[in-house]
C-alpha cells in the first residue's frame, strides 16, 4: 500500500507470440505465473500514438511460463515453464476459450530440481516431435542434464539423447534430420553433438569441443565471480550446410557442417562495451538472411556493442562489408527480429536491455542497405 492507494506491481515479460490465425491478437508470458491473451484495437489513424492492447483473458500456471513455441503447422502451442515442464495446448482453443491441457512433459526426473532449458519443435520428417533440454536453477551449478525427444501424437517420451551435461541450445536442420545440441559441463567444457533424429538414434554420431570462451573485462562481476560461459542460440542456414553459434563472449561462430572437427569457419566479433552499466551477455541471438536469388547468404547478430550487424561467410574476414551495422541502440541488444519484406513485415526490430524497442528500414529505393530508424525508440 501507498498513501495513494494500492501499489501496482509490474512483472517481467518472458515471451510474446502472435495468434497465427488472427494477427490482431497475441499471447504473452510473464513472471506473474500466467500467460495473457491480448487484443489489438484497429488503428484508424496510422500517425496516432501506439494503441494500448486490451486484455482478453489470463491463463494461470503453477510456475513461471517462459517460451511460447508453435508446431510447424501452428496446430499446437508448447509452453515451457521454470518448474521443469512443457505444456501442450490446441492453438485455436488458447485464443477462443480457456484451453484444455493436451499433455504435460517433464524434462527431467522428479526430485532433480531442474528447469526447462532449450526447447524446440522438429520440422519436416520430425515435425511431430518436441525436443527439450534441462538446465540447473543456477548457472554455476553442475548437474546431470537430460535431453529428450517427445512424441506429441502418442503424448509420450520417444527417446533420450546420450548427453549428460546441462543444456545450452538446440537447433534442428531444415529437413528435420539432424539435431545439434550444445551443452555446458564441468571444467568449462562446452561440447557440441550431432544426432540423427530422423532415425531416432539416441547416440551422437559426432561430438566436438567448442573453442574456449574469451575472458572479457566488461563481463566481470562486482562479486568477483567468473562470467557466465554459455551458448545462447544456434541456428542452421536454409540449406543446412552452415551452423551459427551465438556465444556469451560476444562472438558469433559459423561452422561448416561437413567439417565440424576443423573448428569454426568464421569467427565474427562484436565490440565490447561497458555502456550498459550492467551484466554483459554477449551475442544473444542470430538470424540468417538471403538475397533474392538465394546465391548470397548472410548471418545477422546482436551484441553488447548495441549493434545488429551483418556478416557474410563467403567473404574474407577482412572485407570492409563484414560487420556492417544494420541497426544501433544505446544499450546492448537483448533481442532482435528480421522481418520478411515480401510479407510486408518490418525489416528490423531491436529490443535493447534498457527497455527500448527500435524499428528500422534496411533498404533504400535502389536496394542499398541503410541505417535509418523508422521511428524513435519506445520505452517499455
For 214-259, what is each residue's pLDDT tens digit?
Answer: 876 555 444 455 567 899 999 999 999 999 999 999 999 999 999 9
List of residues 6+ apart from 125 with CB closer than 8 A = 175, 176, 177, 198
Q: Has residue 344 got a pLDDT over 90?
A: no
**pLDDT for position 229:** 87
| R_g (Cα) of the chain, nearest Å | 21
How many angstroms from the chain centroid is the CA of residue 330? 21
Contacts of 173-176 with C-beta under 8 Å, sequence gap 24+, read 173/236, 173/240, 174/123, 174/124, 174/236, 174/238, 174/239, 174/240, 175/123, 175/124, 175/125, 175/240, 176/122, 176/123, 176/124, 176/125, 176/126, 176/127
pLDDT band of residue 281 (cuts 50, 70, 90) is: confident
Across residues 84-109, what is the average pLDDT?
94
Q: Is the dihedral of CA 114, 119, 125, 129 positive or negative?
A: positive
Tens digits of residue pLDDT in 156-168: 999 999 999 999 9
Across residues 340-368, what is the average pLDDT?
71
How many angstroms from the chain centroid is the CA of residue 185? 21
- Per-chain mean pLDDT for the chain: 85
- What does the alpha-carbon distance between residue 334 and residue 351 come to, in Å, rounded to a whole number? 6
Across residues 347-363, what is the average pLDDT?
79
Tens digits of residue pLDDT in 169-195: 999 999 999 999 999 988 788 999 999
**pLDDT for position 370:** 45
Tens digits of residue pLDDT in 305-330: 999 999 999 999 889 889 999 988 88
Helix (H, G, I), strand (E, B) or coil at 261: helix
Tens digits of residue pLDDT in 44-76: 555 555 667 899 999 999 999 999 999 999 999
pLDDT band of residue 332 (cuts 50, 70, 90) is: confident
Amino acid at each position: 500500500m501507498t498513501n495513494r492507494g494500492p501499489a501496482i506491481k509490474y512483472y517481467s515479460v518472458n515471451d510474446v507470440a502472435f495468434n497465427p490465425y488472427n494477427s490482431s491478437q497475441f499471447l504473452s508470458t510473464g513472471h506473474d505465473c500466467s500467460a495473457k491473451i491480448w487484443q489489438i484495437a484497429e488503428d484508424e489513424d496510422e500517425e496516432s500514438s501506439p494503441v494500448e492492447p486490451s486484455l482478453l483473458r489470463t491463463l494461470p500456471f503453477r510456475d513461471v511460463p517462459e517460451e511460447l513455441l508453435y508446431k510447424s503447422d501452428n496446430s499446437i502451442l508448447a509452453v515451457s515453464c521454470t518448474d521443469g515442464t512443457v505444456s501442450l495446448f490446441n492453438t485455436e482453443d488458447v485464443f477462443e476459450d480457456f484451453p484444455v491441457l493436451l499433455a504435460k512433459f517433464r524434462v527431467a526426473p522428479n526430485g532433480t530440481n531442474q528447469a526447462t532449458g532449450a526447447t524446440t519443435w522438429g520440422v519436416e520428417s520430425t515435425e511431430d516431435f518436441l525436443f527439450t533440454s534441462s538446465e540447473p536453477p543456477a548457472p554455476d551449478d553442475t548437474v546431470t542434464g537430460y535431453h529428450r525427444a517427445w512424441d506429441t501424437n502418442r503424448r509420450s517420451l520417444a527417446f533420450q539423447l546420450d548427453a549428460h551435461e546441462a543444456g545450452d541450445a538446440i537447433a534442428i536442420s531444415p529437413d528435420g534430420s539432424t539435431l545439434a545440441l550444445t551443452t555446458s559441463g564441468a571444467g568449462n567444457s562446452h561440447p557440441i553433438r550431432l544426432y540423427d533424429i530422423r532415425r531416432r538414434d539416441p547416440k551422437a554420431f559426432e561430438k566436438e569441443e567448442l573453442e574456449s570462451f574469451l575472458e572479457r573485462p566488461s563481463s566481470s562481476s562486482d562479486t568477483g565471480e567468473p562470467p557466465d560461459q554459455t551458448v545462447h542460440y544456434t541456428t542452421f542456414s536454409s540449406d543446412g550446410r552452415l551452423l551459427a553459434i551465438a556465444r556469451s563472449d560476444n562472438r558469433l561462430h559459423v561452422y561448416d557442417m561437413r567439417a565440424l572437427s576443423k573448428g569454426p569457419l568464421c569467427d565474427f566479433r562484436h565490440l565490447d562495451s561497458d555502456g550498459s552499466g550492467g551484466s554483459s551477455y554477449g551475442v544473444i541471438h542470430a538470424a540468417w538472411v538471403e538475397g533474392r536469388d538465394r546465391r548470397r547468404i548472410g548471418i545477422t547478430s546482436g551484441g553488447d556493442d548495441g549493434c545488429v550487424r551483418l556478416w557474410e561467410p563467403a567473404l574474407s574476414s577482412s572485407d570492409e562489408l563484414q560487420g556492417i551495422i544494420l541497426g544501433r541502440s544505446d544499450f546492448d541488444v537483448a533481442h532482435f527480429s528480421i522481418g520478411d519484406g515480401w510479407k510486408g513485415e518490418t525489416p528490423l526490430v531491436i529490443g535493447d536491455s534498457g527497455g527500448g524497442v527500435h524499428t528500422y528500414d534496411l533498404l533504400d529505393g535502389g536496394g542499398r542497405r541503410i541505417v535509418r530508424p523508422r521511428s524513435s525508440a519506445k520505452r517499455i
